[in-house]
Amino acid sequence: MKIALLAGDGIGPEIVAQAERVLRFLMADGLKMELESGLLGGCAVDATGEPFPEATRKLVIEADAVLLGAVGGLKYDNLPREKRPEQGLLTIRKTLNLFANLRPVILYPELANASTLKPEIVAGLDILIVRELTGDIYFGQPRGIEQRDGQRVGFNTMIYSESEIRRIAHIAFQAARRRQGKVCSVDKMNVLECTQLWRDIVTETAQTYPDVALTHMLVDNAAMQLVRDPKQFDVIVTGNMFGDILSDEASMLTGSIGMLPSASLNDQNKGLYEPIHGSAPDIAGKNIANPLATILSTAMMLRYSFNQEIAASRIEHAVKKVLKQGYRTADIFESGMKRVGTVEMGDAVLANM
Amino acid sequence: MKIALLAGDGIGPEIVAQAERVLRFLMADGLKMELESGLLGGCAVDATGEPFPEATRKLVIEADAVLLGAVGGLKYDNLPREKRPEQGLLTIRKTLNLFANLRPVILYPELANASTLKPEIVAGLDILIVRELTGDIYFGQPRGIEQRDGQRVGFNTMIYSESEIRRIAHIAFQAARRRQGKVCSVDKMNVLECTQLWRDIVTETAQTYPDVALTHMLVDNAAMQLVRDPKQFDVIVTGNMFGDILSDEASMLTGSIGMLPSASLNDQNKGLYEPIHGSAPDIAGKNIANPLATILSTAMMLRYSFNQEIAASRIEHAVKKVLKQGYRTADIFESGMKRVGTVEMGDAVLANM
Ligand SMILES: CC(C)[C@H](C(=O)O)[C@@H](O)C(=O)O
Ligand SMILES: CC(C)[C@H](C(=O)O)[C@@H](O)C(=O)O
């Protein structure tokens, strides 16, 4: 089991360092894994001029799974599009064919107060967002900015094929079987033909899963319902663009995005695992970032790419215990709790394993 | 001042009837207006086979302003795309060139409890969303579903020209001058070239408004920030698709979408005015729908299309008084308040005028 560690930018190195300690702890305990580090994003641009250098490409292609911190930072915002850190992330997704982005949105009971929503609306929240990650307007051609009739126009192409929709629908239905058995597919079929096809194919795929209840929702309504009554959802499946927006909205319902991991998988369960939060350059290097989302991402890695359910649960239980014991980084701190830094939070997790 | 009344489907006729009473009250009081009714949406399909019949096209082209109830209903969902009620709405927007959609998101102090967000997060909320309404992926060509390499693909085109972006940016900056002087422009420039042009043109246009503070935000972050801290926003300006999603999300923060009006304007301030809620077929014909959003839409009409600030304020004050007096339709009812039906709510507004 070879794991590529891509710490990335901003707080990336600090949080990945804590996740690496957890992995090394499990290795010392007998789990056979090999770790190798590489550069992605802004740090890669600084070192090589490219956000996704050839050495990193080789590394992630050889690896069985990738653990990523976060990429991006103000100083890279003015680089040409193809040199920006985000481009590294998009290229890695496409290169490894990581079409299935799984984002669990869970509100830990200990952190219920962190939400800006009323406790009764979010207590017990447990949604899985399944976002298609290698298609849609993110990658569609043609795209660009060009001169037409004497002025510039900017354009992009939203596009999905039947097979792209079908494979992500299968992922969602299968995930629902292991949960509450409900899938809500989100589209904008009343306006966009592309998402009309989405709805048709998801509906057709549902026939193979008579035990799963499928509903459809328009994206504008979904954005509302997540605020109005998020607990109505079990699994949400949607395209790349709508998934980007709705998954960020949903994660913020918990008030603690420093806690939420994600997995991006290909059809052989090779995956890239990363916290859903960003690189937070403003707090980088200060030992205050929350490493738990990254640590929980390693649990997803062990479960999805390596089928190591026991090791995965062990990490997740350690994180729950740490919360029960009152350890809090600044982002989730409340009075009465023990405020700790990034490294100390890593210590606390290890102590509970 | 000629006003076209398009009651539409579901609860449309009931809520427009109450708004019409308010307009007729002002007419009796000396305001010169002429009202004429027409068909749009499902009711038009039923009567003529078309969601936007020729007679309605003539009517709205001649009129100085349009008041719309709501369109759509389950029974029309299986019609071919070009016959669906929504198509009537999209065509009317395009025909009248209503590129500027203004959606104020206001939380009335009396209704603070209706929000699913904690009171301290939303108390005093007052955002204006300026959504571009005649461009973007809603109208971009090419679009469709076709066979490619042995399977169907669905595709749409996101597209904006400089001039389209510039005119909506002006609307946003001018609106900000009459408010707190802040504009947040929302895009996805890190992925989409179309919205890179958006950001460039908005930035350029801002130079004419040195008194307005411009910030930019990525759409995924905006979806989060609306949940995390909505009061950070004054005016939000964005494209048609992102505006559809974010404005619905924002309106739900208030918990009372039965209260929120909207205006869609062309460059001569001709406008279409409508509540932001839908046609709610499940409660149609039961005298329980909330007519206040439609009544408040007539206030926006008097202000934006007819420059009748006094009459507009008069309506808005009457609505505020009605809330203070405790009148509530079912959607905003709380114990201790006076529960009233659609007509009785209309009575209460008239009584306060
Ligand atoms: C950084 C950006 C390109 C990326 C996306 O839009 O997919 C991010 O927002 C995400 O959700 O992973
Ligand atoms: C009905 C639909 C076509 C419309 C839109 O997407 O613009 C609606 O959601 C709105 O926001 O007015």
Q: What is the 3-state secondary structure (H, E, C) of A49-78?
A: CCCCCHHHHHHHHHCCEEEEEECCCHHHCC
Would you state the pLDDT for residue B102? Answer: 98
B243 annotated as a binding-site residue: no
Q: Which residues contact B284 (CB under 8 A, 6 or more apart)?
A: B9, B10, B11, B14
Residue B115 labelled as part of a binding site:
no
Flag if B81 and A257 touch (Cβ within 8 Å).
no
CA of B244 to the centre of ligand 2 (A): 7
Task: Identify the CATH number of the domain in which residue B312 sits.
Answer: 3.40.718.10
B118 touches chain A (CB under 8 A): yes
Flag whether residue A227 sits within 8 Å of chain B, measured between CB atoms. yes
**Same domain membership, residue A240 and residue A126:** yes
- The answer to whether residues A293 and A261 touch, using CB atoms and an 8 Å cutoff, is yes
Same domain, A201 and A235: yes
Binding-site annotation, residues of A: 93, 103, 131, 220, 244, 248, 278-290
Window A:264-323, CB contacts with B under 8 Å: none
Strand order in the sheet with A271-275: A34-38, A2-8, A65-70, A271-275, A261-265, A100-106, A126-132, A235-238, A182-187, A213-218
CA A181: distance to chain centroid? 22
Residues A156, B156: C-beta atoms closer than 8 Å: no
| Tokens 């926003």 belong to residue | B233
Domain range for A267: 1-114+255-353
Instruction: Compute the distance from residue A101 Cα to the ligand 1 centre, in Å.
Output: 11
| Whether residues B240 and B133 fall in one domain | yes
Indicate whether A198 and A145 sit together in one domain: yes
Instruction: Give A66's strand partners.
Output: A4, A272
Same-domain status, A245 and A263? no
Q: Can you say whether residue B170 is alpha, beta or left, with left for phi > 0 and alpha for psi between -120 and 50 degrees?
A: alpha
DSSP A7-64: EESTTHHHHHHHHHHHHHHHHHTT---EEEEE--THHHHHHHS-SS-HHHHHHHHH-S
Q: Which of A82, A188, A249, A332 to mutate to test the interface with B (most CBs of B within 10 A)?
A: A249
Give the number of other CB atoms < 10 A from CB of residue A24. Answer: 14
Crossing angle between the packed helical segments B309-324 and B342-351, to the nearest 10 degrees: 120
Alpha-carbon dihedral B226, B229, B233, B239, rounded to 10 degrees: -20
- Residue B244 marked in a binding site: yes
Q: Are B9 and B279 in contact (CB under 8 A)?
A: yes
For a pLDDT cut of 90, what percent of chain B falls above it?
93
Listed residues B254, B272, B296: the one ending a domain: B254
Distance, CA A97 to ligand 2 centroid (Å)? 34
Strands (DSSP E) contained in chain A are: 2-8, 34-38, 65-70, 100-106, 126-132, 144-148, 151-161, 182-187, 213-218, 235-238, 261-265, 271-275, 327-328, 338-339
pLDDT average, residue stretch B85-105:
94
Residues of B in contact with A204 (CB under 8 A): none
Are B49 and B11 in the same domain? yes
Does A138 qualify as catalytic in the annotation?
A: yes
Is B220 known to be catalytic? Answer: yes
Number of domains in chain B: 2
What does the pLDDT read at residue A80? 86
Task: Return the beta strands (E) in B193-351 as ranges.
Answer: 213-218, 235-238, 261-265, 271-275, 327-328, 338-339
Least confident of A145-154, B87-96, B234-243, B289-298: B87-96
pLDDT at A76: 87
Neighbour count for residue B8 (Cβ, 10 Å): 29
Residue B87: the pLDDT is 86
Calculate the CA dihedral of residues B185, A159, A143, A250 and round it to 10 degrees. 30
Contact between chains at A153 and B162 (C-beta distance less than 8 A): yes
Looking at the structure, tell me whether residues A181 and A300 fall in a common domain. Answer: no
Q: What is the mean pLDDT of residues B13-22?
A: 98
- B248 in catalytic set: yes
Give pLDDT, residue B224.
Answer: 97
pLDDT score, position A87: 86
Task: Judge if A197 and A172 occupy the same domain.
Answer: yes
Residue B9 labeled ligand binder: no
Q: Are A159 and B155 inside 8 Å of each other by CB? A: yes
Same domain, A237 and A263: no
Instruction: List, chain by chain if needed, residues with CB within 6 Å of any ligand 1 atom.
Output: A 86, 89-90, 244; B 190-191, 220
B126 and B246 assigned to the same domain: yes
Of A254, A279, A302, the position where a domain reaches its end is: A254
User: Which has the minimum average pLDDT: A126-135, A228-237, B223-232, B251-260?
Assistant: B251-260
Inter-residue contact A95 to A57 (CB < 8 Å): yes
The answer on A146 and A92 residing in a single domain is no
A143 CA to centre of ligand 1 in angstroms: 18
Local structure of residue B203 (DSSP, 8 states): H
Per-residue pLDDT of chain A (353 residues; tens, 9 = 90+): 999 999 999 999 999 999 999 999 999 999 999 999 999 999 999 999 999 999 999 999 999 999 999 998 888 878 888 888 888 899 999 999 999 999 999 999 999 899 999 999 999 999 999 999 999 999 999 999 999 999 999 999 999 999 999 999 999 999 999 999 999 999 999 999 999 999 999 999 999 999 999 999 999 999 999 999 999 999 999 999 999 999 999 999 999 899 999 999 999 999 999 999 999 999 999 999 999 999 999 999 999 999 999 999 999 999 999 999 999 999 999 999 999 999 999 999 999 99
Q: Please give, rounded to a whole number of angstroms, the shortest distance from the CA of A306 to a CA of chain B.
A: 31
Active-site residue (options: A188, A209, A270, A304): A188
Q: Look at residues B254, B274, B304 and tell me which one is the last residue of a structural domain.
A: B254
Residues A127 and A238 reside in one and the same domain: yes
